[in-house]
């Protein structure tokens, strides 16, 4: 195939540069870099990657900083401080001063969605060169804190920037949080157990499935210089419960959940064809954006099928359709893999095997490459761009997930040109309207649909989702001090169990299996 970008107008958006930077605490030359320093180095890498003869830094008119995990919830402050203008601090490190500076919302889909938004803006002539940059330094924060060191990472940058807020709508479910499902691991585990039940598999059988899915991911991570855990592991090793691979929330062993203790950064630079030419970016560096779609899911407790994520399927299907491709036409795949179920959902729908010869990850996946906060998919996009360049004419697909399968964005990339003259290659999909009714009123009985047992420093907490006698969704805890209830939940088979429910003095729903 022959590239022919000149067939399209100067406002055609193309990715001109990508950059990744990382360090590990155990590596020689470890510098204990801050969030901003990691981000700056990845952006400098993206600028260099473009091969431009002109000043890419000077051309950037929009810079979006992906919100770091330690800045992603109200009241949560980075322990070593942060700049008073995060995008401005990153721009400063490469000598850029973009008129539009953005601190983004929370969510792992954000960077993939922004590729679509900025491509649309470029096609509209509203932007000529945009950078998307993110970084995490959680591993360094933990390492320095353990030694009692408290560096000052604050900076007085000044200037105006656009703070898009936390963007947590649809991701905070007070009833689930109150009952102990206050984070990603137990919430995904509830969805995962619903899928396990639908398949009729035991905990041991399902853990083996997860191991078989993720073993190929470890092989990719083992060869990735940016991976936080570059160790190849077998399916059996991933599935076997040991002291080191303990259960964090049923059915998940520790090694199979996203690894957030990373020091990683990644950047993407998008420009108009006209600006790319002006900057002297070689055409063999250009990667075209064939489609980007964004979708929002119902909240977990109102989804008709607790195991399903139809918004993510719609996002991928629509992206493929808009690009004029089937999944069989895609040469490179990266499905967001914070946990197994977002990958399983895509495999189930598209009939993909865990050992698909193309692989299901370009990085090694979030449990092994690392879950670089809201910025993981920038690493996947960087890898997709490099693969597309190396095999010209091929297509790469990146699926990016946010929240608890709450939001999803898909991008399809190739060196083959994409016609943006109609500016219809970025699409935001409508949210489903088939939510299950939820009850906030007291109830005395319920039937279990799914559950998890979450393990923390405070002990084990069993959380369930089910239906009351009126068919409304309700949530609660299982009373593990009751022998029959403990056996039902620890066996992994409480599905369909009838529960009698009482209220604790804190207003929580506490249930026992009916005798």
Per-residue pLDDT tens over the stretch 254-263: 999 999 999 9
Does the pLDDT of residue 133 top 80, yes or no?
yes
- Token pair for residue 138? 């959680």
pLDDT at 8: 76
Per the CB < 8 A criterion, the answer to whether 256 and 234 are in contact is: no
- Interval 248-300: pLDDT, tens: 999 999 999 999 999 999 999 999 999 999 999 999 999 999 999 999 999 99
Q: What's the pLDDT band for 7 if we cut at 50, 70, 90?
A: low
pLDDT digits (tens, 9 = 90+) for 391-402: 999 999 999 999
Question: Cβ contacts of residue 255 below 8 Å, gap of 6+?
Answer: 233, 237, 238, 245, 367
**CB 166 within 8 Å of CB 74:** yes
Name the percent of the chain lying above pLDDT 90: 94
SS3 137: strand
pLDDT in tens, 477-508: 999 999 999 999 999 999 999 999 999 999 99
Q: Does 5-171+259-428 match 445-513 in CATH topology?
A: no
Q: What is the mean pLDDT of residues 213-224?
A: 98
Q: Give me the CATH code for the 445-513 domain, please.
A: 2.40.50.840
Q: Given a cut of 60, is residue 140 above it in pLDDT?
A: yes
Closest CA to 405 of 480, 342, 325: 342
pLDDT of 4 strictly over 60: no
Q: Is the pLDDT of residue 311 over 90?
A: yes
Per-residue CA distances from 181 to 350, 464, 466 (Å): 30, 9, 14
Between 65 and 515, name the one with better pLDDT. Answer: 65
* Whether residue 6 has pLDDT greater than 60: no
| pLDDT digits 0-9 by tens, 23-81 | 999 999 999 999 999 999 999 999 999 999 999 999 999 999 999 988 888 888 899 99
The per-residue DSSP string of 315-348 comes to HHHHHHHHHT--GGG-SEEEE--SSHHHHHHHHH
* Rounded to 5°, angle at Cα 258 from 384 and 208: 100
- CATH of 5-171+259-428 among 3.40.47.10, 3.40.50.1370, 2.60.120.620, 1.10.3720.10: 3.40.47.10
Domain map of the chain by residue range?
5-171+259-428, 445-513
- CA dist., res. 222 & res. 99, Å (int): 40
pLDDT of 3 above 80: no
**What is the mean pLDDT of the segment spanning 103-132?**
97
Q: For the segment 149-193, what is each residue's pLDDT rounded down to a tens digit?
A: 999 999 999 999 999 998 888 778 999 999 999 889 999 999 999
Structure-block tokens of residue 293: 């779609």
pTM: 0.97
pLDDT for 182? 86
Summary mean pLDDT of the chain? 96
Strand pairing partners for 447?
A: 467, 498
């Amino acid at each position: 195939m022959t590239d022919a970008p000149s067939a399209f107008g100067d406002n055609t958006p193309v990715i001109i540069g990508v950059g990744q930077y990382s360090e590990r605490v155990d590596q020689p030359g470890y510098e204990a870099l801050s969030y901003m320093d990691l981000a700056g180095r990845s952006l400098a890498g993206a600028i260099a990657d473009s091969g431009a003869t002109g000043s890419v830094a000077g051309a950037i008119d929009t810079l979006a900083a992906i919100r770091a995990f330690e800045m992603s919830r109200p009241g949560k402050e980075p322990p070593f401080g942060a700049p008073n203008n995060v995008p401005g601090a990153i721009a400063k490190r490469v000598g850029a001063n973009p008129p539009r500076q953005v601190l983004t919302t929370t969510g792992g889909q954000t960077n993939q969605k922004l590729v679509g938004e900025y491509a649309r803006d470029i096609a509209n002539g509203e932007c000529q060169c945009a950078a998307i940059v993110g970084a995490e330094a959680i591993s360094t924060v933990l390492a320095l804190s353990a030694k009692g060191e408290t560096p000052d990472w604050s900076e007085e940058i000044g200037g105006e920037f656009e703070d898009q807020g936390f963007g947590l709508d649809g991701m905070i479910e007070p009833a689930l949080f109150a009952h102990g499902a206050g984070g990603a691991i137990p919430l995904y585990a509830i969805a995962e157990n619903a899928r396990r039940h639908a398949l009729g598999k035991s905990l041991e059988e399902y853990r083996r499935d997860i191991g078989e899915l993720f073993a190929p991911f470890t092989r990719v991570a083992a060869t990735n210089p940016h991976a936080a855990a570059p160790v190849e592991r077998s399916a059996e090793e991933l599935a076997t419960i040991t002291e080191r691979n303990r259960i964090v929330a049923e059915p998940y062993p520790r090694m199979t959940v996203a690894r957030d203790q990373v020091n990683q950064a990644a950047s993407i630079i998008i420009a108009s064809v006209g600006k790319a030419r002006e900057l002297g970016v070689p055409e063999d560096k250009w990667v075209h954006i064939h489609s980007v779609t964004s979708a929002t899911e119902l909240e977990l407790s109102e989804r008709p099928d607790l195991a399903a994520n139809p918004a993510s399927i719609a996002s991928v299907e629509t992206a493929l359709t808009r690009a004029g491709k089937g999944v069989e036409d895609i040469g490179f795949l990266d499905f967001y893999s914070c946990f197994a179920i977002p990958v399983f959902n895509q495999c189930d729908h598209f009939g993909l095997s865990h050992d698909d010869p193309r692989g299901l990850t370009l990085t090694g996946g979030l449990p092994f490459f690392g879950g670089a906060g809201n910025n993981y998919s920038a690493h996947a996009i960087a890898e997709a761009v490099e693969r597309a360049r190396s095999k010209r004419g091929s297509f790469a697909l990146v699926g990016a997930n946010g929240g608890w399968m709450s939001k999803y964005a898909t991008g399809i990339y190739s060196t083959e040109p994409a016609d943006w003259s109609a500016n219809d290659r970025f699409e935001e999909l409508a949210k489903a309207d088939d939510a299950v009714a939820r009850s906030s009123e007291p109830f005395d009985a319920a039937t279990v649909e799914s559950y998890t047992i979450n393990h923390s420093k405070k002990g084990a907490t069993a959380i369930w989702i089910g239906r009351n006698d009126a068919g409304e969704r309700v949530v609660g805890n299982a009373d593990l001090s009751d022998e029959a209830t403990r056996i039902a939940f620890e066996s992994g088979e409480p599905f369909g169990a009838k529960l009698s429910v009482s209220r604790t003095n804190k207003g929580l729903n506490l249930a026992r299996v009916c005798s």
